[in-house]
């Protein structure tokens, strides 16, 4: 094996990944990823949520170990066994969530990790900090408590800490997600100065513009796989617009060997029919940790599938919850089959035929410790025929549950099995069975195939198509563009809580939707 | 009424207050270390009992109080080792294990005492006092504060020692990080589990020492359930002290006065039912909680087992 590493092209790499695979129960977070990290380069890792960026960082920083493949440091295969080991190898990480102790001062945080019997070397620290901050052009208040600093200042402290430990490789995990635009520009300038000093930087982001503006080399991750790389030579040759276009192609383009490849959607929309769901000017106020919605308007006709595309976290969940009645709308109207429902309760909307399949299957979708049978009827608890005078009718429940298990092909050991013990795909089937049951007119699917394996993904998609074919109106929210392109009649793109455009799903829809998603006009 | 305010009575009351405060002080300082590092140590009452029993046995058979303190501290640390294994290393629920340890040690120490001494309660000779020259001649205060066993002065010195460790040493930083943001300590290259284990073992040793003092110096004998909630008072003290050892000392003295009053008023023959007098310390706890409890700030990760890279 040693002969292999010396002959590899990665002679100049500080750190290289070779075929690294990491699995978590139910998902493959990284699938045979290769990566080469070199001094003097900002290597951008680009990908949506769930693309496997954070897992990759966890393995580089010693928090997790790869299941397959290997990591080379200075050309030698080196398992990174712990955070301490990563630091010793010169790999410093600035995590997405701040890793500073809020109750300690900046100086104390920087001193953390020294030998426990020593007195903290405050004077030595001050001298070294002055030296480093001088060359980087940043200022750091050593005596301030971390909890009093802005997020941008905290990040500078973390970068400074990595420098104090003589890091050769600095990993920045989603570092711009909590910064102001000014802070982002400052970080970009700081990264440039750091690589000019010979450091290697891995910069993780899901924002295309940052990748194009700050990077030297870009690797694109998609669903755990590396789908492409733009090396520095190409990077320099291309203009920013061309780079963005190329990344869009990598991120949203069709893979040739994609097993999920689907034929063109079957059109079942009934052109002349009146819309089943009409949403006009729907708005939701933003909260501390979620964006609001503004002036959302769309119609869905019977048999039609309307897709909602967008980068995760742009208001998709808020939209679904506002329609289902779980989130209070500040204005706007929602009409189901012509009747206004925006003031009705969650339960009443459901009774009128509006169904919502949550993406949070175990959290709000099911009660994990309850048996499969009861989970089929969670939204009918107390209602006849399954409950009479407040008493559970076990026979009725089991009879209907047996039918549903057969009809929806739920693989469960028994009706009494707690639903949390089933696989994600089978939990999804329980939810499908419950929400598509009698009386459904409009169904909202929120990320219906997220985290499912291929067989269950395909089954769920077929179930959604069948739903539309029955003449129901379907709203399909997904972050998987392939899925939307393979199923929808029209695709609307959501960004920052607003629909920025709606595209008919015809030949050039892929490019149009991709451009809308990253903030360019269609 | 004259008896209540006589010089002799007052200095006896304060002397008793200091004697009663020392076990609380040691328990409170011990609990404070664990809590700083993020471990809620409910088992401290059990650790004190183990210390009281083994401390008494050590002193009884060796005839040396100091050896008794040593066996007491070792006993407390041994119980803490169980806690560290179950709660820090394996990550079991700290409250459940803590209660189990306390109840288990209550039974175990009572049982062992019964096997060894049957129904008799042998006494240790009174502890030698280290009299501080000059200071002990001050009226009232002198005999109350400066005629104690040497370990009392050491316990008070420990308050300042702990303060120094928390504010001025690397170990202090590590402990606080382990309680406030263990992930930050981990990525800084320090083993969180080891840091917390050290903290819990120290807690056990200090609680055991407190128990040994209670039995050997305070009472001069061991009886089952002798700690009578002293460990729990220590938990209250640590929570109210907001990480400052000096506040543990003040709190311990306040509770000490209440406990001492209980005895003193009975001795002075004041006509109040003893049940009411014995409520005093616990009334003081409630009053202190109402006054200061809202401002008590606990470490963010208190009670949460640390698991690296959990997702």
A101–B174: do the CB atoms touch at under 8 Å?
Answer: no
- What does the pLDDT look like over B241-298, one tens digit per residue? 888 999 999 999 988 988 888 777 777 777 777 777 778 777 887 887 788 777 667 8
Closest by Cβ to A111, choosing from B170, B183, B309: B170
Whether the predicted pLDDT of A95 surpasses 80: yes
Per-residue pLDDT band at A149 (split at 50, 70, 90): confident
Q: State whether residue A61 sits within 8 Å of chain B by CB.
A: yes
| Residue-level pLDDT at A41 | 92
pTM of the model: 0.69
Q: Which of B37, B176, B188 to mutate to test the interface with A (most CBs of A within 10 A)?
A: B188
> Which residues is A202 bridged to in the sheet?
A43, A171
Q: Which two tokens stand for residue A160?
A: 């400074």
Q: State whether residue A99 sits within 8 Å of chain B by CB.
A: yes
Q: Which residue of A has its CA nearest to B187?
A: A83
| Residue-level pLDDT at B306 | 87
Residue range A182-187: mean pLDDT, rounded: 82
pLDDT values of chain B reduced to their tens digit, one per residue, 311 residues: 455 567 778 888 899 999 999 999 999 999 999 999 999 999 999 999 999 999 999 999 998 999 999 999 999 999 999 999 999 999 999 999 999 999 999 999 999 999 988 888 888 888 888 888 888 888 878 888 888 889 999 999 999 999 999 988 899 999 999 999 998 898 888 889 999 999 999 999 999 999 999 999 988 899 999 998 899 999 989 988 888 999 999 999 988 988 888 777 777 777 777 777 778 777 887 887 788 777 667 888 888 888 876 53
> Residue A411 burial (CB < 10 Å; 0-12/13-18/19+)?
exposed
B170–A103: do the CB atoms touch at under 8 Å?
Answer: no
Angle subtended by helix axes A394-407 and A424-435, to nearest 10: 110
Rounded CA separation B270/A199 (Å): 79
Rounded CA separation B34/A212 (Å): 49
Q: Which of B164, B182, B189 to mutate to test the interface with A (most CBs of A within 10 A)?
A: B189
Element (H, E) at A189: helix A181-196
Q: State whether residue B189 sits within 8 Å of chain A by CB.
A: yes
Separation in Å, CA of A200 to nearest CA in chain B: 19
Q: State whether residue B311 sits within 8 Å of chain A by CB.
A: yes
Q: Which of B33, B178, B184, B196 to mutate to test the interface with A (most CBs of A within 10 A)?
A: B184
User: How many H-runs (helices) and E-runs (strands) does chain A carry?
Assistant: 18, 22
Give DSSP secondary structure letters for A55-97. HHHHHHTTSS--SEEEEEETTEE----SHHHHHHTTEEEE-SS
Torsion sign over Cα A483, A489, A492, A493: positive
A64–B309: do the CB atoms touch at under 8 Å?
Answer: yes
Chain B residues inside the 8 Å CB shell of A87: 188-189
- What does the pLDDT look like over A256-296, one tens digit per residue? 445 555 555 666 666 778 889 999 999 998 876 677 898 89
Separation in Å, CA of A116 to nearest CA in chain B: 5
| Residue-level pLDDT at A9 | 39
Whether the predicted pLDDT of A49 surpasses 70: no
Q: Which residue of B has its CA nearest to A63?
A: B309
Ordered by where they begin, the domains of chain B are: 2-121+141-292 (1.10.3470.10)
Q: Considering chain A, what is the average pLDDT of its residues?
A: 84
B184–A100: do the CB atoms touch at under 8 Å?
Answer: yes
Q: State whether residue A166 sits within 8 Å of chain B by CB.
A: no
């Amino acid at each position: 094996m040693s002969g292999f590493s010396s002959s590899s092209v990665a002679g100049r790499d500080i750190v290289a990944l070779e075929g690294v695979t990491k699995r978590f129960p139910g998902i493959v977070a990284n699938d045979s990823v290769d990566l080469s990290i070199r001094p003097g380069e900002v290597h951008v890792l680009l990908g949506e949520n769930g693309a496997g960026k954070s897992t990759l960082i966890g393995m580089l920083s010693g928090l997790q170990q790869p299941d397959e493949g290997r990591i080379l440091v200075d050309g030698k295969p080196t398992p990174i066994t712990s955070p301490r080991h990563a630091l010793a190898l010169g790999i410093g990480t600035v995590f997405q969530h701040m890793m500073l102790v809020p109750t300690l001062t900046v100086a104390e945080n920087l001193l953390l990790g020294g030998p426990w019997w020593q007195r903290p070397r405050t004077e030595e620290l001050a001298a070294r900090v002055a030296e480093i901050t001088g060359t980087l052009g940043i200022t750091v208040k050593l005596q301030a408590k971390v909890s009093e600093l802005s997020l941008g200042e905290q990040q500078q402290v973390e970068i400074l800490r990595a420098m104090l430990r003589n890091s050769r490789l600095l990993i920045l995990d989603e570092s711009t997600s909590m910064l102001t635009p000014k802070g982002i520009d400052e970080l970009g300038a700081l990264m440039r100065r750091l690589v000019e000093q010979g450091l290697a930087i891995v910069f993780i982001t899901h924002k295309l513009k940052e990748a194009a503006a700050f990077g030297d080399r870009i690797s694109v991750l998609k669903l755990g796989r590396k789908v492409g790389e733009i090396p520095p030579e190409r990077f320099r040759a291309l203009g920013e617009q061309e780079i963005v276009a190329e990344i869009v192609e990598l991120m949203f383009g069709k893979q040739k060997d994609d097993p999920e490849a689907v034929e063109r959607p079957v059109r079942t929309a009934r052109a002349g029919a009146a819309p089943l769901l009409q949403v006009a000017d729907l708005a939701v106020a933003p909260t501390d940790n979620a964006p609001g919605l503004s002036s959302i308007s769309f119609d869905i006709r019977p048999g039609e599938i309307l897709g909602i595309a967008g980068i995760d976290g742009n208001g998709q969940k808020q939209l679904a919850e506002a329609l289902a009645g779980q989130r209070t709308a500040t204005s706007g109207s929602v009409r189901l089959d012509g009747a206004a429902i925006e003031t009705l309760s969650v339960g009443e909307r459901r009774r009128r035929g509006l169904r919502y399949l949550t993406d949070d299957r175990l959290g709000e979708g099911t009660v994990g410790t309850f048996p499969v049978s009861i989970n089929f009827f969670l939204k009918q608890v107390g209602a006849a025929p399954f409950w009479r005078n407040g008493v559970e009718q076990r026979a009725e429940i089991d009879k209907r549950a047996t039918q549903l298990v057969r009809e929806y092909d739920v693989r469960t050991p028994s009706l009494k099995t707690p639903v949390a013990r089933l696989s994600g795909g089978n939990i999804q089937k329980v939810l499908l069975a419950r929400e598509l049951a009698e009386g459904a007119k409009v169904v909202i699917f929120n990320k219906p195939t997220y985290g499912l394996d291929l067989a269950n993904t395909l089954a769920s998609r077929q179930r959604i198509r069948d739903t539309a074919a029955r003449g129901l109106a379907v709203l399909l929210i997904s972050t998987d563009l392939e899925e939307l392109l393979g199923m929808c009649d029209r695709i609307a793109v959501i960004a920052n809580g607003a629909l920025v455009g709606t595209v008919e799903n015809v030949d050039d829809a892929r490019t149009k939707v991709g451009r809308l998603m990253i903030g360019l006009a269609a | 009424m004259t008896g209540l305010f006589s010089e002799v009575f007052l200095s006896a009351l304060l002397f008793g207050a200091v004697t009663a405060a020392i076990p609380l002080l040691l328990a409170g300082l011990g609990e404070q270390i664990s809590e700083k590092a993020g471990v809620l140590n409910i088992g401290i009452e059990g650790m004190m009992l183990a210390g009281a029993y083994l401390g008494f046995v050590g002193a009884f058979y060796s005839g040396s109080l100091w050896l008794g303190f040593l066996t007491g501290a070792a006993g407390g640390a041994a119980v803490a080792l169980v806690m560290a294994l179950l709660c820090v290393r394996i990550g079991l629920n700290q409250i459940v294990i803590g209660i189990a340890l306390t109840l288990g040690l209550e039974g175990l120490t009572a049982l062992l005492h019964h096997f060894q001494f049957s129904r008799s309660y042998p006494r240790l000779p009174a502890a030698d006092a280290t009299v501080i020259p000059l200071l002990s001649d001050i009226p009232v205060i002198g005999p109350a504060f400066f005629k104690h066993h040497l370990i009392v002065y050491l316990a008070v010195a420990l308050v300042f020692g702990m303060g120094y460790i928390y504010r001025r040493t690397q170990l202090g930083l590590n402990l606080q990080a382990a309680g406030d943001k263990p992930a930050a300590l981990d990525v800084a290259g320090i083993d969180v589990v080891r840091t917390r284990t050290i903290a819990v073992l120290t807690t056990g040793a200090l609680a055991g020492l407190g128990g040994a003092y209670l039995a050997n110096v305070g009472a001069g004998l061991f009886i089952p359930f002798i700690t009578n909630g002293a460990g729990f008072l220590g938990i209250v003290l640590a929570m109210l002290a907001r990480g400052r050892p000096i506040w543990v000392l003040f709190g311990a003295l306040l509770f000490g006065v209440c406990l001492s009053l209980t005895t003193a008023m009975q001795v002075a023959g004041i006509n109040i039912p003893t049940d009411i007098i014995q409520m005093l310390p616990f009334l003081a706890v409630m009053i202190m909680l109402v006054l200061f409890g809202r401002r008590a700030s606990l470490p963010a990760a208190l009670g949460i087992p640390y698991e690296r890279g959990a997702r």
